[in-house]
Amino acid sequence: MSDTSERKVALVAEATRGAGRGIAVELGAIGATVYVTGRSTRERRSEMDRPETIEETAELVTAAGGEGIAVPVDHLEAAQVSALVERIDREQGRLDVLVNDIWGGELLFSWTDRLWEHSLDKGLRILRLAIDTHIVTSHYALPLLIRRPGGLVVEVTDGTTDYNEVNYRVSFFYDLAKTSVTRMAFAQAKELEPVGGTAVSLTPGWLRSEIMLEHFGVTEANWRDALAAQPHFAISETPAYVGRAVAALARDPRVGRWNGRSLSSGGLAKEYGFTDVDGSRPDAWRYVVEVQDAGRPADVTGYR
């Protein structure tokens, strides 16, 4: 087991915004050195064409108490990922936590087109962004991660295994992308266990990301104004919540008990006792099954 008193060294692959940023900042809050990657920098925006940057995330990590290091990386480019890991090895000599949060498909998938109607080019691009990037990153990062026992891999996805196995997730390409990430965590768990490593998949609930807040025309300060349009948004959570889940896993000397498991922010909050920034503990996936999907009126009583 790694010494939990030591400063953790983490790589959050795609920490520009959303869950990745929340995870990076909360790792900073436990004093970690966090390499934050992405394609959006102050000099150049990615195809997402949004204002958030990896430099801003790194500054937030440092402000939280850690050390944030921004590195522009396209995780589809093997040479860039290899160079990133070589840099971490050269500068730190270790890697304790790898978070594969790479996605970037928000502008590509259709909510309504069926497989034969969907743009094939966009669909295959989704799979490249959501699956190939994770494989490339793990391929290069795992040799450094397993150098010391106790290394942790967190594959970030949308939905637990139990939920995704019986529910169709929006569209063919989105469904395939998100379920594949969960299976990748399971497969890595099998390969890491004999060398002292742990891999899990982790899903936030309904995330109040920058994009989601913008979609509803609200900010974090007045997010409840969105409930008029979507009452079930009441169960939503901040990116800090899933970030605190990763921080709790990173500090757990018995993290191996979760190896291969499909986890959620709400489920881990019950286990570790952390809360969202407002002091609540949203249990989104239980709420989705028991209230939202069941067609009941929105009521978060007992769910946050």
Could you please report the per-residue DSSP string of the chain? ---TTSPPEEEEES-SSHHHHHHHHHHHHTT-EEEEEES--SS---TT--S--HHHHHHHHHHHTSEEEEEE--TT-HHHHHHHHHHHHHHHS---EEEE-----TTT--SS--TTTS-HHHHHHHHIIIIIHHHHHHHHHHHHHTTSTT-EEEEE-SS-HHHHHHS--SSHHHHHHHHHHHHHHHHHHHHHGGGT-EEEEEE-SSB--HHHHHHHT--STTGGGGGGT-GGGGG-B-HHHHHHHHHHHHH-TTGGGGTT-EEEHHHHHHHH----TTS----HHHHIIIIITTTPPP--TTT-
Q: Per-residue pLDDT tens for 7-52?
A: 999 999 999 999 999 999 999 999 999 999 999 888 888 777 788 8
Q: Per-residue pLDDT tens for 161-194?
A: 999 999 999 899 999 999 999 999 999 999 999 9
What's the whole-number average pLDDT of the chain?
Answer: 95
* Domain annotation covers residue 52: yes
Average pLDDT over residues 120-141: 97
- Domain limits at 101? 9-292
The model's confidence at residue 109, banded by pLDDT at 50, 70 and 90, is: confident
Q: Look at 8-12, 53-57, 108-112, 217-221 and tell me which has the smallest mean pLDDT.
A: 108-112
* Domain annotation covers residue 55: yes
Q: Per-residue pLDDT tens for 270-299?
A: 999 999 999 999 999 999 999 999 999 999
* Domain annotation covers residue 165: yes
* Domain annotation covers residue 198: yes
* Domain annotation covers residue 43: yes
* Domain annotation covers residue 142: yes
The model's confidence at residue 1, banded by pLDDT at 50, 70 and 90, is: very low
Number of domains in the chain: 1
* Domain annotation covers residue 297: no
What is the pTM assigned to this prediction?
Answer: 0.95
CATH label of the domain that carries residue 269: 3.40.50.720
* Domain annotation covers residue 3: no
Average pLDDT over residues 142-160: 97
